[in-house]
Amino acid sequence: MNNLERMAGWIPPLIDASKITLSLSVISVVLGMVAGTFIALGRISANKAVSRACSVYIFIFRGTPLLMQLFFVWYALPLAIPELTIQNRFLAACIAFTINSAAYQAEIIRAAIQSIDSGQMEAAKSLGLTYAQAMRHIIIPQSIKRLIPPVGNEFIMVLKDTSLVSTIALVDLMKRTSQIQSSASTALVYLPSAALYLIFTAVFTYLFSWLEKRHSVYE
């Protein structure tokens, strides 16, 4: 069996493991955006206690390695608080990646919101809208286009960082690659594996670029 035939035989198990990689990326970024929106709003809140709490959250999870956060959720948290023991590796990975992504996306969202001219908020209030209504109907919708490129970059980073979950034995694309490399005693498996990462990156880069162009029509 030549090398091309061997690599072709590795494609199905690699694609199967990629389901974990893609699912983890999408779930973490989507949940991270939801949480990040609330954290960003808290960060710019007039309430100093809320603003400082959100700033501390961002500082901690942007200032420590994602791998350490993953290890904390999977290994350390059960020792510190046994009641919060997580048995499912995928769930533990989702939690670690979500809280990390939320910190980064909070800053992305905050910057996008604050880039909108302050006159927009003043105009909304003059029309009788509350702060929350102005944010929901005027400020945040206008900031969406400005969010797309950095959120796209965050997604690509998360997609590549999912390879870290192999350290807790979650069988994603990277873990499956290592297993095949070990059983086949060849590093050739890294070629189709890298190709899959590149394909996923290219597809999502195109998707976010399309979304950016679509939203630019309304400006």
Domains of the chain plus CATH, in order, are 3-216 (1.10.3720.10)
Taking only the tens place, the pLDDT of each residue in 108-158 is 999 998 888 877 777 877 888 887 788 877 888 888 888 999 999 999 999
Q: Do 171 and 24 contact (CB within 8 A), yes or no?
A: no
Which residue shows structure tokens 């994602």?
A: 66
pLDDT of 219 reads 52
CA 97 to each of CA 15, 65, 148, 177, 182: distance values in angstroms, whole numbers, following the listed order: 22, 11, 19, 21, 27
**Which backbone phi and psi does 169 adopt, to 5 degrees?**
70, 25
CA 112 to each of CA 19, 90, 117, 147: distance values in angstroms, whole numbers, following the listed order: 32, 31, 11, 6
pLDDT of 78 reads 93
Walk along the chain (219 residues) and give the pLDDT tens digit of each residue: 678 888 889 999 999 999 999 999 999 999 999 999 999 999 999 899 999 999 999 999 999 999 999 999 999 999 999 999 999 999 999 999 999 999 999 999 999 988 888 777 778 778 888 877 888 778 888 888 889 999 999 999 999 999 999 999 999 999 999 999 999 889 999 999 999 999 999 999 999 999 888 876 445
**Which backbone phi and psi does 115 adopt, to 5 degrees?**
-80, -15
Closest CA to 216 of 151, 150, 152, 142: 142
pLDDT of 1 reads 62
